[in-house]
Amino acid sequence: MRAFVLQGNDAAMAVEWLHVHAQVEGVLEEPDALVVWLPCELPQLPKGLQVTVQERIVRAEDYHVTGLENDTVIVVTEDLLVRPPWVECPEGFAGTELIVPRGGAFGSGEHDSTKAALVVMHRSWDAVASMADVGAGSGILALYANVRGCERIEACDIDEPSVIAARELLPEASIYVGGAERMRPCDLVVANMTGAELRGSLNSILSIWTRENDLILSGMRAPEVDDLVARVPGREVDRETLGAFTAVRFAAN
């Protein structure tokens, strides 16, 4: 087996090309590179791709790397944590745990937009009869509602693999491929998406919000917050900014 380190703007595109044109045995994501494992020499990549290639010596121990070794507990607040099932709960922790296997879907708890949404949900959690998770990714925000006892959970994502992952995490929830309009109305509605996606979906998001509980929008970057807040017919009751991302909680009146 041989390993090639791909770096540069088009590294991901080069990997996609290799999946079609070579026998890719594995790809490891590193902070600034993609390492591709092949049983042979790397084929000549298409001209014009901005990518540098360096062969890496393969050691016997590399065959045992899974990419999961560095996973740890993600502390969201002192009494709320997220961890994959293969990482143990810290001894003595008595708060709320979200167990989410890190896979292809967005939402393993590492991203600041997920954390900001969780902080706002957790800070003033109120028993709710129904919750909708718009842009569910892995289903992590719906899982929070589930572990806090919410009985009816709906979720959606335009990305089918994410919907498959979320259905595995929450087999009893109703999870749809598509946008917010696919879901039945819910009392608490949470959406963590980019500012542009939130703006584009806002009418559908508002149409399924019964206003019996709150609406939480997360994933906004600083220049997007005021515009989105102004578009929501609700009263801002909480806000959390983590890194570049802000979550805002609105009450119906």
Contact positions vs ligand SAM (CB under 6 A): 106-107, 111, 113-114, 117, 134-137, 140-141, 156-159, 162, 179, 192-193, 197, 201, 219
Choose between 109 and 234: whose C-beta lies nearer to ligand SAM: 109
Choose between 130 and 162: whose C-beta lies nearer to ligand SAM: 162
Choose between 3 and 216: whose C-beta lies nearer to ligand SAM: 216
Please report how close the Cβ of residue 64 comes to ligand SAM at its closest, in angstroms. 30
Please report how close the Cβ of residue 169 comes to ligand SAM at its closest, in angstroms. 11
Choose between 10 and 197: whose C-beta lies nearer to ligand SAM: 197
Tokens found for residue 138: 């892995």
Please report how close the Cβ of residue 119 comes to ligand SAM at its closest, in angstroms. 12
DSSP the chain: -EEEEEESTTHHHHHHHHHHHS---EEEEETTEEEEEESSPPPPPPTT---EEEEEPPPGGGGG--S-TT---EEEETTEEEE-TTSPPPTT--SEEEE----SSS-SS-SHHHHHHHHHHHHT----SEEEEET-TTTHHHHHHHHTT-SEEEEEES-HHHHHHHHHH-TTSEEEES-GGGSPPBSEEEEE--HHHHHHHHHHHHHTB-SSS-EEEEEEEHHHHHHHHHHSSSEEEEEEEETTEEEEEEE--
Choose between 195 and 219: whose C-beta lies nearer to ligand SAM: 219
Please report how close the Cβ of residue 74 comes to ligand SAM at its closest, in angstroms. 11
Please report how close the Cβ of residue 200 comes to ligand SAM at its closest, in angstroms. 6
Exposed/middle/buried for residue 172 (C-beta within 10 Å: 0-12, 13-18, 19+): exposed
Please report how close the Cβ of residue 81 comes to ligand SAM at its closest, in angstroms. 15
Choose between 188 and 193: whose C-beta lies nearer to ligand SAM: 193
Choose between 103 and 179: whose C-beta lies nearer to ligand SAM: 179
Please report how close the Cβ of residue 142 comes to ligand SAM at its closest, in angstroms. 8
- The count of other CB atoms within 10 Å of the CB of residue 200 is 13
Distance CA(163)–CA(142), nearest Å, equals 12
